[in-house]
Amino acid sequence: MNNFSYSRPEDLNSALGELTKREGAKFIAGGTNLLDLMKENIERPSHLIDINHLGLNTIEATADGGLRLGALVTNADTAYHENVVTHYPLLSQAILAGASAQLRNMATNGGNLFQRTRCYYFYDLATPCNKREPGSGCGALRGYNRIHAILGTSDQNSETACIATHPSDMCVALAALEAVVRVTGPAGERIIPFADFHRLPGNEPWRDNTINPGELVTAIDLPPKGFSTNFAYIKLRDRTSYAFALVSVAVALEIENNRILDARVALGGVAHKPWRKPEVEATLIGQPVSEANFQAVAEALIDGAKGYGHNTFKIELAKRAIVRALQQAAKLEPTA
Amino acid sequence: MQTILSSETGARSQNVLPEKRSITLTINGLVHKLELAPWTTLLDALREYLQLTGTKKGCDHGQCGACTVLVDGKRINSCLTLAVMKEGSEITTIEGLANENGLHPLQTAFIEHDAYQCGYCTPGQICSAIGMINEGHAKTLQDIRELMSGNICRCGAYSNIVDALQEVMKIDSNETV
Q: Which fold has domain A230-329?
A: Enolase-like; domain 1 (3.30.390)
* Lowest model confidence (mean pLDDT) among A255-269, B5-19, B24-38, B119-133: B5-19
- Nearest chain B residue to A18 by CA distance is B8
- Contact of A12 with chain B, judged by CB distance below 8 Å, is answered with no
Nearest CB among A1, A6, A101 relative to B150 is that of: A101
| Mean pLDDT for the stretch of residues A67-93 | 98
The verdict on a CB contact (< 8 Å) between A36 and B18 is no
Q: What are phi and psi of B150, to 5 degrees?
A: -80, 5
Which residue, among B76, B132, B147, would best test binding to A if mutated, counting the most A CBs under 10 Å from its CB? B76
Confidence of residue B16 (pLDDT cuts 50, 70, 90): low
Give residue B11's pLDDT: 44
Distance from CA of A75 to the nearest CA of B (A): 13
Burial class (CB in 10 A: 0-12, 13-18, 19+), A333: exposed
pLDDT more than 90, % of chain B:
85
Give the span between the Cα atoms of A115 and A184, in whole angstroms: 19
The verdict on a CB contact (< 8 Å) between B68 and A4 is no
Q: Is the pLDDT of residue B13 over 60?
A: no
Parallel, antiparallel, or unpaired for β A47-50 and A5-7? parallel
| Mean pLDDT for the stretch of residues A114-124 | 98
Give pLDDT tens digits for B40-63. 999 999 999 999 999 999 999 999
Helix (H, G, I), strand (E, B) or coil at A30: coil
Residues of A in contact with B148 (CB under 8 A): 101
HEC readout, chain B: CCCCCCCCCCCCCCCCCCCCEEEEEEECCEEEEEEECCCCEHHHHHHHHCCCCCCCCCCCCCCCCCCEEEECCEEEEHHHCEHHHHCCCEEECHHHCCECCECCHHHHHHHHCCCCCCCCCHHHHHHHHHHHHHHCCCCCHHHHHHHCCCCCCCCCCHHHHHHHHHHHHCCCCCCCC
Give residue A48's pLDDT: 98
Helix (H, G, I), strand (E, B) or coil at A303: coil
Nearest CB among A1, A5, A106 relative to B8 is that of: A5
Confidence of residue A333 (pLDDT cuts 50, 70, 90): confident
Q: Domain ranges in chain A?
A: 5-50, 230-329
Distance from CA of B38 to the nearest CA of A (A): 6
Q: What are phi and psi of A327, to 5 degrees?
A: -60, -45
Confidence of residue B38 (pLDDT cuts 50, 70, 90): very high
Residues of B in contact with A76 (CB under 8 A): 74, 135
* ipTM of model: 0.96
Give residue B3's pLDDT: 40
Q: Is the pLDDT of residue B17 over 90?
A: no
A–B CB contacts, 8 A cutoff, strictly below: 111
What is the architecture, at CATH level 2, of domain A5-50? 2-Layer Sandwich (3.30)
The verdict on a CB contact (< 8 Å) between B38 and A6 is yes
Confidence of residue B174 (pLDDT cuts 50, 70, 90): low
Q: Is the pLDDT of residue B177 over 70?
A: no
Give residue B14's pLDDT: 52
The verdict on a CB contact (< 8 Å) between A50 and B85 is yes
Give pLDDT tens digits for A250-282. 999 999 999 999 999 999 999 999 999 999 999
- Nearest chain A residue to B80 by CA distance is A32
Please name which of A134, A92, A47, A120 lies closest in space to residue A222, comparing C-alpha atoms: A92
- Contact of A242 with chain B, judged by CB distance below 8 Å, is answered with yes
The verdict on a CB contact (< 8 Å) between B75 and A5 is no
The verdict on a CB contact (< 8 Å) between A5 and B9 is yes
Give residue B18's pLDDT: 72
- Nearest chain A residue to B40 by CA distance is A1
* Domains observed in chain B: 21-96 (3.10.20.30), 105-169 (1.10.150.120)
pLDDT more than 90, % of chain A:
98
A157: left (phi over 0), alpha (psi -120 to 50) or beta: beta
Confidence of residue B10 (pLDDT cuts 50, 70, 90): very low
Give pLDDT tens digits for A8-17. 999 999 999 9
Give the span between the Cα atoms of A308 and B43, in whole angstroms: 40
Spatial contact of B65 and B77, defined as CB atoms under 8 Å apart: yes
* DSSP summary character for residue A275: B
Give the span between the Cα atoms of A261 and A210, in whole angstroms: 31
- Give A 71-110 residues with CB within 8 A of chain B: 76, 80, 99-103, 105-106
Burial A165-189 (b: 16+ CB within 10 A, else e): bbbbbbbbbbbbbbbbbbbbbeeee
Give residue A319's pLDDT: 98
Q: What are phi and psi of A12, to 5 degrees?
A: -60, -45
Q: Is the pLDDT of residue B9 over 60?
A: no
Give pLDDT tens digits for A192-241. 999 999 999 999 999 999 999 999 999 999 999 999 999 999 999 999 99
Please name which of B54, B68, B75, B66 lies closest in space to residue B134, comparing C-alpha atoms: B75
The pLDDT mean for chain B works out to 91
Confidence of residue A335 (pLDDT cuts 50, 70, 90): low
Give residue A2's pLDDT: 92
Give the span between the Cα atoms of A308 and A324, in whole angstroms: 25
Nearest CB among A31, A47, A76 relative to B82 is that of: A31
Residues of A in contact with B77 (CB under 8 A): 32, 102-103, 106
The verdict on a CB contact (< 8 Å) between A105 and B11 is no
